[in-house]
């Protein structure tokens, strides 16, 4: 754009109005080009925030979720146990999981307390 305006200003020889307007356009276009090149740049987009799972929140949600949440807790405790003190812990049979999940609230909480105490005692 600046080059075109400069060329027009030079070619306008005898017409002062055209030459002045073209020269002004050339200066403005050059200024915009420089301002764009040197102006503030957009920062790189930040990476998405890392989602850190809150274990206690997970346990609370599982306790509120009924049978599926209870099942999740049973498997979570098994996973923790396999990762630490009993790497050879066999997989639970579906009937065994159903029996644990089907207990009353008090019995299930007692089961959780017993499992957690056993895990803590073996560390």
* In-domain check, residue 46: no
Indicate whether 67 and 28 sit together in one domain.
no
* In-domain check, residue 47: no
Nearest Cα to 1, choosing from 20, 19, 21, 28?
28
Q: Token match 């949440």: residue?
A: 69
Token code pair at residue 36 = 């764009």
pLDDT by residue for the chain (123 residues), tens digit each? 555 555 545 555 666 665 566 667 666 666 667 666 676 766 667 766 655 566 667 888 888 888 889 999 999 999 988 888 888 888 989 899 999 999 999 999 999 999 999 888 887
Token code pair at residue 10 = 């030079």
Are residues 75 and 41 in contact, defined by beta-carbon separation less than 8 angstroms?
no
Token code pair at residue 113 = 């307390």
**Number of domains making up the chain:** 2
Q: Is the pTM of this model over 0.85?
A: no
């Amino acid at each position: 754009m600046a080059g075109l305006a400069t060329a027009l200003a030079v070619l306008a020889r005898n017409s002062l109005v055209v030459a002045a307007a073209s020269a002004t356009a050339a200066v403005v276009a050059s200024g915009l080009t420089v301002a764009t090149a040197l102006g503030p740049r957009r920062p790189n987009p930040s990476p998405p925030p890392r989602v850190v799972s809150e274990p206690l929140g997970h346990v609370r949600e599982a306790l509120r979720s009924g049978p599926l949440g209870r099942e999740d807790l049973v498997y979570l405790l098994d996973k923790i146990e396999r990762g630490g003190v009993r790497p050879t812990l066999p997989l639970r049979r579906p009937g065994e999981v159903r029996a644990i999940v089907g207990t009353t609230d008090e019995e299930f909480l007692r089961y959780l307390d017993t499992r957690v105490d056993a895990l803590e005692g073996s560390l």
